[in-house]
Chain A
Amino acid sequence: MKRRDWLIILVVLIASLALYLLRPKADTAATAQAYLRISAPDQQFDLVPLTDAQDITITQADGSVNVVEVFAGGFRMKEANCTNQDCIKQGDVTLANMADRPLANEVICLPHRVVLELVTAEDQTVEITP
Chain B
Amino acid sequence: MRKTRRLTLAALLVAVMMVLGYVESMIPISAVPGIKLGLSNCVLLISLYWLGTGLSVELMVVKVVLLGFLFGNPMMIAYSLAGGALSLAVMALLRRVKGVGPVGVGIAGGVTHNIGQVAVAVLTLQTPSLVYYLGLLMPVGAGMGLITGLVAQTLMHTLPPLKRLEDKEKREETQLEENHP
Interface residues of A (CB under 8 A from B): 1-9, 12-13, 15-20, 22-24, 39, 82-84, 86, 89-91, 102-104, 106, 108, 110-113, 115, 125
B66 contacts A by Cβ under 8 Å: no
From the candidates A2, A16, A86, name the one contacting B135 in the complex (CB within 8 A): A16
Q: A83-B71, A86-B31, A113-B124 are in contact. Are A104 and B129 (CB under 8 A)?
A: yes
Chain A residues closer than 8 Å to B108, beta-carbon distance: 8
Chain B residues closer than 8 Å to A83, beta-carbon distance: 71-73, 76
Interface contact A12-B103, CB-CB below 8 Å: no
Most interface-central of B31, B132, B134, B138 (chain A CB within 10 A): B31
Interface contact B73-A5, CB-CB below 8 Å: no
Give, as a whole number of angstroms, the nearest-CB distance from B102 to chain A.
9
Chain B residues closer than 8 Å to A108, beta-carbon distance: 33, 121, 125, 127, 130
B93 contacts A by Cβ under 8 Å: no
Q: A4-B100, A111-B75 are in contact. Are A9 and B107 (CB under 8 A)?
A: yes
Chain A residues closer than 8 Å to B23, beta-carbon distance: none
Chain A residues closer than 8 Å to B27, beta-carbon distance: none
B15 contacts A by Cβ under 8 Å: no
Interface contact B101-A103, CB-CB below 8 Å: no
Q: How far is the CA of A89 from the CA of B33 in the complex (A)?
A: 10
Total of A-B residue pairs, C-beta within 8 Å: 112
Interface contact A3-B32, CB-CB below 8 Å: no
Q: How far is the CA of A7 from the CA of B98 in the complex (A)?
A: 13
Q: How far is the CA of A1 from the CA of B99 in the complex (A)?
A: 9
Q: A20-B136, A83-B72, A102-B133 are in contact. Are A39 and B101 (CB under 8 A)?
A: no
Chain B residue total in the interface (Cβ 8 A):
41
B111 contacts A by Cβ under 8 Å: yes
Q: A2-B104, A22-B132, A23-B132 are in contact. Are A110 and B138 (CB under 8 A)?
A: no
Name the residue on A nearest B32 (C-beta). A102
**B83-123 at interface with A (beta carbon < 8 Å):** 94, 97-101, 103-104, 107-108, 111, 121
Q: How far is the CA of A102 from the CA of B118 in the complex (A)?
A: 14
Interface contact B75-A12, CB-CB below 8 Å: no
Interface contact B142-A2, CB-CB below 8 Å: no
Name the residue on A nearest B106 (C-beta). A5
Q: How far is the CA of A105 from the CA of B111 in the complex (A)?
A: 24
From the candidates B73, B103, B125, name the one contacting A2 in the complex (CB within 8 A): B103
From the candidates A4, A86, A104, name the one contacting B33 in the complex (CB within 8 A): A86
Interface contact A9-B133, CB-CB below 8 Å: no
Name the residue on A nearest B136 (C-beta). A102
**B61-82 at interface with A (beta carbon < 8 Å):** 71-73, 75-76, 79
Q: A5-B103, A89-B31, A113-B124 are in contact. Are A19 and B138 (CB under 8 A)?
A: yes
Q: How far is the CA of A106 from the CA of B107 in the complex (A)?
A: 28
Name the residue on B nearest A18 (C-beta). B135
Chain B residues closer than 8 Å to A23, beta-carbon distance: 132, 135
Q: How far is the CA of A84 from the CA of B29 in the complex (A)?
A: 12
